[in-house]
Amino acid sequence: MRVLIPSWKFFDEAGHAASLRYRIGSSPQAWGDWQMPPSPEPDRGWKRLFLNARQNLHLAQGSLLERLLFEFSLSSHSNLSALQNETSYRLVKNWVKFEIQSQISAMTLDAPAHFQFEIQWHDFKDSSQATVLLSPVHEF
């Protein structure tokens, strides 16, 4: 039905954003630094009027975070184990694995044993940020 009667509320709420960070390790006791997925190189040329795949993917990935956080907010905060079986969580987890795999393919990284991710919530009105979701340790 949303196809027939879309909601056209664009940009109505401002000033906050979610971001993803992940870390990898050879063991749960030996972690690397937290890192963010690489952002696409901002291309301000005229070509991006026609094709802007990486930026559109980047925006879609941001929507994955927002959807996961929304579903997380609806569930009990202690019920992260149940959330792990939800599609939203799995897609974000896949995103992290995708980024790690990209680094392995580019030979900038050896295959890790474990990874973990967190979602941070940034409020630009008061310049604050907080971790709102910390995943368990996952095997790669």
Residues that bind another protein (CB under 8 A): 2-4, 6-15, 17, 19, 39, 42, 44, 48-64, 85-87, 90-91, 94-95, 97-98, 101, 124-125
**Between residues 27 and 94, which has the closer beta carbon with respect to another protein?**
94
Beta strands in the chain (DSSP E): 16-27, 30-31, 114-123, 128-134, 138-139
Beta carbon of residue 29, minimum distance to another protein (angstroms, whole number):
27
**Between residues 7 and 78, which has the closer beta carbon with respect to another protein?**
7
Give the residues across from 117 on adjacent strands. Answer: 22
Beta carbon of residue 13, minimum distance to another protein (angstroms, whole number):
7
According to DSSP, the β-strands at 138-139 and 114-123 are antiparallel
Q: How many CB atoms lie within 10 A of CB 135?
A: 18
Beta strands in 37-113 (DSSP E): none
Beta carbon of residue 47, minimum distance to another protein (angstroms, whole number):
10
Q: At 79, list the tokens.
A: 């019920």
**Between residues 35 and 55, which has the closer beta carbon with respect to another protein?**
55
**Between residues 23 and 58, which has the closer beta carbon with respect to another protein?**
58
Beta carbon of residue 96, minimum distance to another protein (angstroms, whole number):
9
